[in-house]
Amino acid sequence: MKITCRRITPNLCVVVSEDNVPIEYVDVPAPNWPEHFRDLLLSELGADVRFRVGGETFPAHRCVLAARS
């Protein structure tokens, strides 16, 4: 087996302004993991795995399966 490695060099740019522009803050709600996982479970959008059980197909998300393993 051949293993290939790549080096990634990040490029960071800091912009400093002397203008007195007020900073706008955005309220970010606290995470609600159970609700977010439930939404993924109920949504077929972005499903990347399908299970066939008893002739019926169920869409699933790998991230949810991994989190619940």
Task: Give the pLDDT mean for 60-67.
Answer: 84
User: What is the pTM assigned to this prediction?
Assistant: 0.44
Distances (CA, A) of 7 to 3, 13, 36, 57: 13, 19, 34, 41
Q: Would you state the pLDDT for residue 53? A: 93
User: 11-55: per-residue pLDDT in tens?
Assistant: 888 877 777 777 788 888 888 888 887 887 788 888 999 999 999
* Residue carrying structure tokens 């002739």: 55
Count CB-CB contacts under 10 A for residue 41: 14
pLDDT band at 56 (very low <50, low <70, confident <90, very high): very high
Cα separation, 40 vs 60, in Å, equals 8
The ranges assigned to domains in the chain are: 34-68
51 neighbors 58 (Cβ within 8 angstroms): yes
Q: Are 57 and 50 in contact (CB under 8 A)?
A: yes
